[in-house]
Chain A
Amino acid sequence: MSTLAALRPRILRPVAPPPSRAVRLEGAAKQVLESSRGRLTLVAGTFAIAFAVVGMRLVDLALSKPAADAREFELPRANDATGYAADRADIVDRSGALVATSVPTASLYADPRDIKDAREAASRLKTVLTDIKAEDLETRLAAEGRSFVWIRRNLTPRQQYEINRLGIPGFYFQREDKRIYPHGSLMAHVVGFADIDGKGLGGVEQAIESRLKGGREPVRLSIDLRLQHIVRQELQAAITEFSAIGGGAVIMDARTGEILSMVSLPDFDPNAPGSAPADNRFNRNTLGLYEMGSTFKTFALAMALDAGTATMKSSFDAREPIRISRFTINDDHAQKRWLTTPEVFKHSSNIGAAKMSLEVGAEGQKAFMKKLGMLDPVSLELPELGKPKYPRDWRPINVMTIAFGHGLSVTPIHLATGIAAVVNGGILHSPTLLKRPEGEPAPGRQVLKPSTSENMRRLMRLVVENGTGKRAEAPGYWIGGKTGTAEKVSRGGYKKSARLSSFVAAFPIYDPRYVVVVMVDEPKGTKKTHGFATGGWVAAPAVQRIVQRMGPLVGLPPVEETPEMRRLLMVDSLPQPKEKSVAAR
């Protein structure tokens, strides 16, 4: 003990209790006392500072507000007002109706290491998932060295419950979002579909993948679900009536380029895209390239009027078919006389349109088509976009055939976009499937003179009033349009029996709001149509029914003619004598 005490440093040696009276220490004792006091002060000071820091922090915590999101990682947090956080944004129609959404489902997987008896597990699981192959499942469950095997993705809640009740060890559920399309095939070609991992594989789902993935705000389409339904019904009716192989229809807002409806038939169910033939996934409206036929005369006339090579009073010799090299250009509704510009359009004269275009020339026609976007794929929020086919060297024969819609293949969306520009005052709006912000003018560029557009509206009204498109007349809606019947190209030439019958319309034509395009693929004439399967017999009545049904929905009541309208639609050059007006040649 004493040796230990001797080994201790001197300062730690126990100090004798202080005497009752103040004692003055001298020498070594005083030194010891002073140094120990100094050290005590140091220690006390350190502690005081430490406590002061702690105290300050306490005051700080008590007074300051808790940091936002400080608890984010500790507690499950409810989402904000937008609700359920799916891994993919919803898609809604222009009025907000749900078109595509992701719902949580359970997916079943197994850990083969935890499965004792693969055969028994497989046979028991088969009692719930009856369509599964037991042998196949057994080999997968018995797989060596694997710890994860998908059994079935996206179970129904009932299946999940039943499997849970079986209580087989080694099976687990994984929560997954499943993309569903409540409207089934109604929007199939617009929305497209997503695969089991939530990746867009077609339509808008694929085209704006980056915006949908992880997005919270629903994407608003320009499509109106109600119009989509009407258009699909009427198009289907036309296809059924004329035993056609398919068809396409588009409604476009003539003032903004927004596509309000786009239907391609036959279609498929995006909830089960594999269940329909792959051909059904083909979008006729954006991917299908067709020689549109006479509907293209709208562009031929617009071009000639805009270039000034023809006026509403010009006339053209349509007495004889045009013979050029080995081709003969004839008229379907041959009048065999001189035709004025309005008459060329009204009777859908190939000869007249061809001669009219020749006057503009190849250069002019190509430039015009380019300007109208007929030579490039449209820019649209879809991956399925067809690139127009046109002749490499634009010879006079091409000029003439393109005038009546042969030799240049475009998609129905091209046609709708072009027609919208022709009727809306000459402004070309790029088509879109996404709703444009309201109140903002849609971007566009002037491609035609307003006066040309005004004349074209008159001509299009003429066709419906007493031309080839009479069957599209819907009283009070003032439809203007143009029929088209094209023979489809088959190996080495045109097939007389395989036609593409179409009708393009704009209404109300005195101040167009909507452009409607209906196209029926390979219709066959019926008794009712006297065997005819042309655009005027097949597509025009469909357009009429569509317009009559959509009018009330979009808030357009039928209106009676006013003097102002009469003035806007009057074609004053129509009753011209045919033989006299040779001047324009």
Chain B
Amino acid sequence: MIRRSTLLWLLAAVLIGCGLYQLKYEVQAKEERLARLNRQILQEQEAIHVLNAEWAFLNRPDRLADLANRHLEMTPVAPAQFGKVAAIPERSLVPIVADAEAPLIPQAAAATAPVKVATKPAPKLQVVEAKRSLGTVDVHQLRQAKPVERDVVVIVDGALLATVQR
């Protein structure tokens, strides 16, 4: 009876001992790995730090200017190269037909693109000019200045298609 329990305890002790050692070695290995990784991170950080310094050195403005001079066909931005967004002709469909009762689509335009037409009633209108395209038209200017005698202009996709007179 006594012997059996002693044996059992002994066995348990041996097993636990083995397990403990196993665990200890595992932990040790993990710690070594952690230390190694940490060292590695430190090295990498140091390398990044040095590379940052080199990056700054390679990005000296005078060096970049020299390189750009030699390899790029570019010059510094001149003040004359600035423009306003508002000065760019709009490309979208711009319905400027206003106060027109009947859909007022000149024959030429009708075939090419849909033209949005306002539906308000208006007096008689008469097509004065109708062209397929006048090249790129500055809508911004057109809106403000151009239609003086011509009350209505039809523009599709940036191109003046028709001017209409009342």
Contact of B61 among A98, A99, A186, A476 (CB under 8 A): A186
CB < 8 Å: which of A79, A182, A474 contacts B79? Answer: A474
> At the interface, yes or no: B7 with Cβ under 8 Å from chain A?
no
Across the A-B interface, how many residue pairs have beta carbons closer than 8 Å? 83
User: Which residues from B are CB-within-8-Å of A79?
Assistant: 41-42, 45
- A78–B41 CB distance below 8 A: yes
Bound Cα distance from A98 to B78, whole angstroms: 28
Main secondary structure of the interface of B (DSSP, over half): helix
Q: How far is the CA of A78 from the CA of B40 in the complex (A)?
A: 8
The contact of B46 among A75, A98, A104, by CB within 8 Å, is A104
Interface string of A80-97 (1 = CB under 8 A from B): 000110100000000001
* A423 at the B interface (CB under 8 A): no
- The answer to whether B61 and A103 touch across the interface, beta carbons within 8 angstroms, is no
The interface residues of chain B lying within 8 Å CB-to-CB of A557 are: 79, 82
CB of A558 within 8 Å of the partner chain? yes
Least Cβ distance of B99 to chain A in Å?
32
Q: Is A322 an interface residue (CB 8 A)?
A: no
Judging by beta carbons under 8 Å apart, are B38 and A98 in contact? Answer: no
Q: Give the segment of A341-349, A386-394, A526-534, A548-556 that binds chain B.
A: A548-556
Nearest CB of chain B from residue A475's CB, rounded to whole Å: 7
Pair A84/B79 contact, Cβ less than 8 Å: no
Interface size of B by CB at 8 A reads 31
- The reply to whether B38 and A75 contact each other, CB–CB distance below 8 Å, is yes
Q: B31 at the A/B interface (Cβ < 8 Å)? A: yes
A101 contacts chain B at the CB level, 8 A cutoff: yes
Q: Are B60 and A84 in contact (CB under 8 A)?
A: no
B42: which A residues are within 8 A, CB to CB?
Answer: 76, 78-79
Cα separation A103 to B47 with both chains bound (whole Å): 9
Instruction: Tell me, yes or no, whether B122 is within 8 Å of chain A by CB.
Output: no
Judging by beta carbons under 8 Å apart, are B59 and A97 in contact?
A: yes
Q: Is residue B91 within 8 Å, beta carbon to beta carbon, of the partner chain?
A: no
> Cβ of A86: which chain B residues have Cβ within 8 Å of it?
49
Contacting pair A551 B79 (CB below 8 A): yes
B86 within 8 A of A: no
Given A75-B31, A75-B35, A83-B45: A476 touches B79 (CB 8 Å cut-off) = yes
A552 with B48: in contact, given A75-B38, A79-B42 (CB under 8 Å)? no
B13 within 8 A of A: no
Known: A97-B59, A104-B50, A184-B60. Contact between A76 and B79, CB under 8 A?
no
CA distance A104 to B39 in the complex (A): 15
* Partner among B37, B38, B54, B60 whose Cβ is within 8 Å of the Cβ of A183: B60
CA distance A557 to B85 in the complex (A): 12
> B149: CB under 8 A from chain A?
no
Hey, which chain A residues are within 8 Å of B38, CB to CB?
75-78
Q: What are the interface flags for B41-66 relative to A under an 8 Å C-beta threshold, 1 for contact and 0 otherwise? A: 11001101110111111011110010
B61 to A226, Cβ gap below 8 A? yes
Q: Kindly list chain A residues whose C-beta atoms are within 8 Å of the C-beta of B35.
A: 75-76
The answer to whether A369 has its CB under 8 Å from any CB of chain B is no
Given contacts A98-B52, A101-B53, whether A552 and B77 have CB atoms under 8 Å apart is: yes
Interface string of A171-198 (1 = CB under 8 A from B): 0000000001011101000000000000
What 9 pairs between A and B have smallest CB-CB spacing? A78-B41, A229-B61, A84-B49, A98-B56, A557-B82, A182-B56, A182-B57, A558-B79, A552-B77
Which residues of A does B touch, CB under 8 Å? 75-79, 83-84, 86, 97-99, 101, 103-104, 180, 182-184, 186, 225-226, 228-229, 233, 474-477, 548-549, 551-552, 557-558
What would be 16 A-B contacts, judged by CB atoms less than 8 Å apart? A75-B31, A75-B35, A76-B39, A78-B41, A103-B53, A104-B46, A182-B54, A183-B56, A186-B62, A233-B62, A475-B79, A477-B79, A548-B78, A549-B76, A551-B79, A552-B82
Residues on B facing A (Cβ under 8 Å) = 31, 34-35, 37-39, 41-42, 45-46, 48-50, 52-57, 59-62, 65, 76-82
